Structure 1
């Protein structure tokens, strides 16, 4: 028997999450069985722990879109017992049972070897949020961003993606402006390397002018909505925005003027279906470019029993930094 956070739905459609013991035979089909050591909490996890958000197909369900641990058994020659692995994405924790259990069984194609220099705990302090942040940094660099080009804006900076993005960019020598609606996180963000704090209200509303003063050389945006529209009009000529989230809404009340007159690029960042080679590239960059002392400062430890409350908190925007869940505690 193994312990897991099991989400069940009653006949009236109401869901409830609780830690229960389940038979290992209940794990879904897959090539590789992993003894999970750590997981984490992302926005999608909050949805799956709660009402599902349209992500969960069948119940009972084990959420957890990320996990890291040790291969216990494998039917695929790429992995052997004892190998350290990490998984993010591929709709694990949504459609397929995920990492909120002491064991997980998944397809070998979904796994990535844990990079040298990172522990399983550190990998889950990174998780999907940090992986997405690195994908965004790589996309901006691939489109010409470099430190001498100017200041980089990070919206939703105190959240999971924003925290890791701020730490990585600062470590690479960029001047980072962090946007937050929580003034109490200012010291936290400057500790991660932000050179200045931008109050959310400064960018929260659209303006009639499609173009404003050229301010940002690049941007990692986790907010979307009106804030993204506003930022597009403030980008420097040829600058790029990597869009990673929609905390402020899915609609984009913008014009095409920044694209036509300033050559601004809007780059979509998807972490779920990334090809294997780019996953390996991103994890190698994380191990190299994310300062581990800054990563440690983001961590809030948790157990399986804490997850129902944390799921509610992250949906309310009340989580700072990165939650690391010890599934065996």
Structure 2
């Protein structure tokens, strides 16, 4: 038997910590012990039933996990190996990692970099790994430190806070957009050069505005993304990875055909292994462990349901790390 955060839906929805039989785990070629997990925005949607994340019921929540392989029939993994898991529909269509045990596909797993403990890997989690993918998108499209201001939206959230820390350490001039003005000093300590109120971007705006941003990391979507595009400088790049404000995008082709702006979509769920490994290797090199520690709020598995509600209520900053055992 093992403890897990189980989501059930019949006539009503429920989320609870339960003891489950290992025999109930779905088929896959690697059995793991999960030592640490985390709460991402998608986990919050699933646990609070505020979005259609879960596709099969019942479901063990948790898209991220880190720990140790217990058994494996996959050639790349053996008992005792340390792993990281992010995405791949886990917690949506396959039982997830907010649990003491999980059965996962070896092709989904990434080797834990020597630079990180399992706890640190989950402090990064899908949110931080997505932030690194966004930074790589800016780099791959030629946006270099010194090119100009880089806007990070949703800056106190999981993606945004790691993006601020990464970009700041890499030498970019970071402007953090947030509705939590009390967190300005924290964001500057992470690496932001200046702060703007998210309200400046959150309302419908003109489709073509004064040029400002050399690059953008956007986890918000909707009007915020539309305004960011309208303000991006000639040849600039906008990495879009989230929809905290909404999935809509009311914009025009003007930034693209008159300023050569690139809108780079960033997906973390189904990203191929080579891209994942590149992102984790760069995180090991470029993310300051001391800055990472300032992002962390640690909770036990028993506190994950309440914290998911707080996350969806905008009452969480940085990264929530879930201690699975004990």
TM-score w.r.t. structure 2 length? 0.98
SS at match of 1:236: strand
The match for 1:5 is 5
The match for 1:42 is 40
How much has 1:52 moved relative to structure 2? 6.6
The match for 2:302 is 305
Q: Structure 1 stretches of 5 or more lacking a match?
A: none
**Pick from 230, 233, 249: which aligns with 1:233?**
230
Cα-to-partner distance string for 1:9-40 (whole Å, 9 max, x where unaligned):
24x1x111111111111111110011101000
The answer to whether the 8 Å contact 2:205/2:223 transfers is: no
The match for 1:135 is 133
TM-aligned CA distance change 1:262 to 1:286, over 3 Å: same
TM-align CA RMSD: 1.1
Cα-to-partner distance string for 1:65-118 (whole Å, 9 max, x where unaligned):
000000111001101111100000100011100001111101111101111201
Q: Which residues of 2 match residues 1-329 of structure 1 at below 5 A?
A: 1-10=1-10, 12=11, 14-51=12-49, 53-208=51-206, 210-329=207-326
**Counterparts of 2:53 and 2:211, CA distance in 1:** 39
SS at match of 2:248: coil
The answer to whether the 8 Å contact 2:56/2:92 transfers is: no
Cα-to-partner distance string for 1:191-219 (whole Å, 9 max, x where unaligned):
101010011112222333x3322211100
**Counterparts of 2:284 and 2:83, CA distance in 1:** 14
Q: Structure 2 stretches of 5 or more lacking a match?
A: none
TM-score w.r.t. structure 1 length? 0.97
